[in-house]
Structure 1
């Protein structure tokens, strides 16, 4: 059911922003719509998701209407500030958004469109489990204005999927991709590497299977053991091995090489696309610290440097919405120094890099040694921008520590 919410200041019931928050009309505005429902809980998952037996008073069939009420509240908040911007990106994440009827997703998207408008060429993404995607579902989503499907492939190897508690049929990955293509949707495939019992050859099979489907975009994430998950308990009891850092590094280097040969370019540490137009603009908005409003239980938002997060449980969320109150549980406003450090942390992960001038004095002095160690690209650094090498992407945290020392 996800990790604990951050500590922060109380959030007002009316959801209004502090009077001194400045909203820059030139900063892109995005929308995140959280759908917290899953058929089963994967052993590694730390996201704010719930199976049917965990809902305790919340109803999936009422969820779209609850989110629409939060969208209406958010519009009133931004109208109060005299600032409405069309959504450049919309992202349905989860959980498994496609567990909801596609008509519910369409109504939620229509609510965003009615409240804010969608910018010309807006990117609208829906995450999907392969088993929930059919030609009819894909067409309904496309007709509603969805432009992109992100399919949770994770692996093409049955025993790896079993280790991750993923229940989808590997054959349905191709079916989902074909359904999306038939509806004119762009396609992204998500992979995870480093599962218990996964070999380097298993990983090669998964990557090559993904490439053969010719998606527009591929994400590959190292398995992280989160506290409180089933996987963490299994490792602690000695039932399964912990991920091997060296093996995960080998897996990263392998996926990066295979994708480069296949014509995919990296643009963020864990993300590759066929061309610039297929990069996830929504996720780039996070790495660039742009503005977004997150809807649903546990969703986080960021407007004008203010961050806030919603109550976690769907029942608590439903109660807030029924009462006409903001679902925000708390909020914070980092100071300028904290925001600068975070900007370096996030922007150093993307291929556009971070200006050397934004590093600390000690960080700028460390650039030469980072080049010598093969962690950042020398030519780019000399031109004034820190861009990670493949080795640097494996050691990105060390680079950030050096730049912010």
Structure 2
């Protein structure tokens, strides 16, 4: 593989854009789909691989559950900040190259995490890992919005998010199973190696940008204006709020259900708990079909359906029955990926230019929800137990439904610049 030639089109001087998009049924579309799936898998398995390990980290480093949650919250927090910067740099440097090097560095940093001698070193490594991974989500969504035919936009975004679902699932399930046979350190190193191969597969498969227009130099005034315009757009701002609430519910529930199932009366093993994360397979299916459902009943209705499914799932986890708890987790997962697939594709439709800036803001709010509420949930768990987690999530879901109902009809004009 010639690395320099693969990146040449994205890192060279600006060229005139070719007004041609990639449509379903072509070889390029299939290659793009596989590349985006690998991208989603690698980035999200690296982000969430520590989630089933929180009890292990708590024991290994002798820290409280709320402190162990920082292994994920710091990653998503730095990821949120980096996403905004990455969208600006990608306007100058190019989409494909930035995504590749982000995957490459994050994979290496995951191996560094595996050999961290102390909790503080691990936290620094996880923070850096989140920061470099900021070059993936917003840029990937911008690439899809720019290069994929509008009629296939929702389906393609669903495929990318299916990859993120698969990555999130395998990061959690794989780590749980591996730690049953190896230490959590060896498990993290193995995952880093797998994602390193995914990075080079992505580089080989993803078509070069056709419709990307590079900006000369880093004009902070230009970027600030672009972000300001998007934040001034009422419907986009509401979609950003929906992204914040989505991960607030999802990550908080998954962070602390592991502690609940480790404790009495369940006393589940690491492998048994990790297998519950196979519910992510429902996310792979639901995110892939969300676009098809939206074509029939409308995007707004599908987002409402997604949050109602999450609400049902949260309520089911109140049961003492392990079966109903697992069923509830499955409902939350299904609803989350349905709503996320539609909300993220809606950002690309509403923002007719500077799409990288628009998607970076969506993901900024999205990961801030994971970081802020995910960490705060530790205090709720320690003071009020699982009932407190459920009440918090119900409150957040109800706010999200109010926001969705307040969105004006989606046939209204899109934002222009």
> One fold, TM greater than 0.5?
no
Decide which structure has greater helix share. Answer: 2
TM-score, with normalisation over the residues of structure 2? 0.25
Using CA pairs below 8 Å that are at least 6 residues apart, which structure has the higher relative contact order?
A: 2
- Give the greater-gyration-radius structure (CA): 1
TM-score, with normalisation over the residues of structure 1? 0.25
